């Protein structure tokens, strides 16, 4: 699970911390959580873009809505790369920019950024990966690949099944979430979810016996809804932090439970 790839999306940070806290303090009489903790290694990346996130605090309010990291190159006056456009999958094709001053600047080449290299290498070193959730804000949607095209992905029914369950689990507790393919909402290439669902990643995502795994990567766009609020959607009020965490946690547990249930039938390949 990953949070704060885009530093202005503050609400995602507490969500990761809340999930970690709830797992670390889980009641041993809770059979579902006990099984998950006994059988699954859960990797948490609470701040995937630390330099950018720090900027939103140290230079508040001027840079409260900063989206990129803080990498610098040569004499280019503008700073930073959109880390969720820098993964090595359909890099530089759709929904990203080659303009260093753009908020969606894709970087000079795929995997150019230290953060992306670290995330990619860590996941490849800790294979097999069954699934992942990348938390962002905002829109209250659960997004599955692909983002670089409006065409349906391979095995869309599997992705949709997971996304529907995550959305409904969150909706039962609090706000209404909807499952959608990313490309049907906005086009974006070089994203974390698309990279994890790429053939390149699947080919190397093997266990000690050589079985390949096709992971289930989702992006959860947290509160609020996106209707008619513009950039103010990133400014979640303090009283909404805990309710957001509480409505998302059951959906995470459902997601992990479904990964375990479907590992042999959908995820692991011969």
CA distance 178 to 112: 33
Active site residues: 221
CA distance 155 to 144: 11
What is the DSSP track for the chain? -B--SSTT-TTHHHHHHHHHHHHHT--TT-HHHHHHHHH-----BS-S-HHHHHHHHHTTTTTTT--S-----TT-SS----GGG-SSSSTTSSS-BS-TTSTTB--SSTT-SHHHHHHHHHHHHTPPP-EEEEEEESSSEEEES-SS-SSPPTTHHHHHHHHHHHHHHHHHHSS--EEEEHHHH---SS-HHHHHTSHHHHHH-B-TT--EE--EEEEEEESS--TT-GGGGG---GGGHHHHHHHHHHHHHHHHHHHHHHIIIIIEE-
Question: Is 222 within 8 Å of 137 (Cβ atoms)?
Answer: yes
């Amino acid at each position: 699970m990953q949070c704060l790839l885009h530093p202005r999306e503050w609400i995602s940070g507490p969500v990761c911390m809340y999930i970690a806290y709830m797992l670390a303090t889980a009641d041993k009489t809770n059979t579902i959580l006990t099984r998950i903790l006994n059988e699954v290694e859960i990797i948490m990346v609470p701040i995937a873009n630390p330099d950018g996130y720090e900027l939103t605090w140290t230079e508040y309010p001027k840079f409260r809505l900063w989206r990129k990291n803080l990498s610098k190159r040569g004499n280019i006056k503008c700073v930073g790369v959109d880390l969720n456009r820098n993964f090595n999958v359909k890099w530089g094709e759709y929904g990203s920019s080659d303009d260093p001053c753009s908020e969606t600047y894709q970087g000079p080449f795929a995997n150019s950024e230290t953060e992306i290299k670290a995330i990619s290498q860590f996941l490849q070193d800790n294979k097999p990966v069954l699934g992942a959730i990348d938390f962002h804000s905002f829109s209250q949607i659960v997004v599955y690949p692909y983002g670089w095209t409006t065409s349906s992905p391979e095995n869309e029914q599997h992705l949709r099944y997971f996304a529907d369950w995550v959305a409904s689990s969150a909706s039962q507790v609090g706000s209404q979430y909807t499952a959608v393919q990313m490309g049907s909402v906005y086009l974006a290439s070089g994203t974390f979810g698309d990279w994890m669902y790429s053939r390149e990643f699947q080919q190397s995502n093997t266990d000690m016996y050589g079985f390949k795994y096709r992971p289930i990567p989702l992006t959860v766009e947290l509160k609020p809804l996106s209707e008619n609020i513009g950039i103010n959607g990133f400014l979640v009020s303090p009283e909404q932090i805990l309710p957001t965490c509480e409505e998302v946690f059951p959906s995470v547990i459902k997601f992990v439970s479904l990964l375990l249930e479907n590992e042999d039938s959908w995820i692991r390949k011969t």
